Amino acid sequence: MSGDHSSAAIAERVRHVEALLEERGLLDDGEIDRRIDEFLAGGSPANGARITAHAWVDADFRERLLADANAAIRELGLSMAGGLQEQRLKVVANTASEHHVVVCTLCSCYPIALLGPSPAWYKSEAYRSRVVRDPRGVLREFGLELPADTRITVWDASAESRYMVVPRRPEGTEGMSEAELAGLVTRKGLIGTAAV
């Protein structure tokens, strides 16, 4: 059975369940689409960039972020509550000796609220399987060459837990404002497939 046929069958089942819920008055017409649109409207890599820039300029916030990311991002008016329950967010920070990269080996779990919709390569089977086996090689393909002695940690997201990377702050940015720093941060940096 091809992937396209399987996806079509799943989509057909989802539409059927949605129609049943609407018939029984448990959902309004188009309610699921409206909720998805509302959820995606607030999701942007700018949110993750803002978190990162704040962590770069406020050491106390950085500590709180690494200890309890869900609580820390609320300080900035952000949340991981995209559904019925809040997803657990774990934030990890790159250092000179350790680099983090995020994947979801089973599907494409991803912190949409903080990074926007996931890129196509993040969802690809090639990335999901290879980054676990050969993270250094995959990062090299993204143009990120790390020193041989840099330890690479791969974080596997799940339905319950999402991950975000705080990239290393670029040298020579000491005089930049928080907003200027946020402008340097990319979605790939927040996933760990690029440096900032």
Binding residues for Fe(3+): 104, 107-109
Binding site, residues? 104, 107-109
Closest CA to 167 of 119, 118, 96: 96
Known active-site residue 79: no
The catalytically annotated residue of 6, 7, 44, 108 is 108
The catalytically annotated residue of 7, 44, 79, 109 is 109
The catalytically annotated residue of 107, 124, 129, 177 is 107
Known active-site residue 104: yes
Q: Which tokens go with 136?
A: 């250094």
DSSP character string of 34-71: HHHHHHHHH--HHHHHHHHHHHHH-HHHHHHHHH-HHH
Known active-site residue 108: yes
The catalytically annotated residue of 2, 6, 79, 104 is 104
161, 105 in Cβ contact below 8 A?
A: no
Known active-site residue 2: no
Q: What is the DSSP letter of 53?
A: H
Pairing outcome for strands 98-103 and 151-156: parallel
Distance CA 155, CA 132 (A): 9
Local structure of 154: helix, strand or coil: strand
91, 69 in Cβ contact below 8 A?
A: yes
Distance CA 142, CA 14 (A): 35
Residues carrying an active site annotation? 104, 107-109
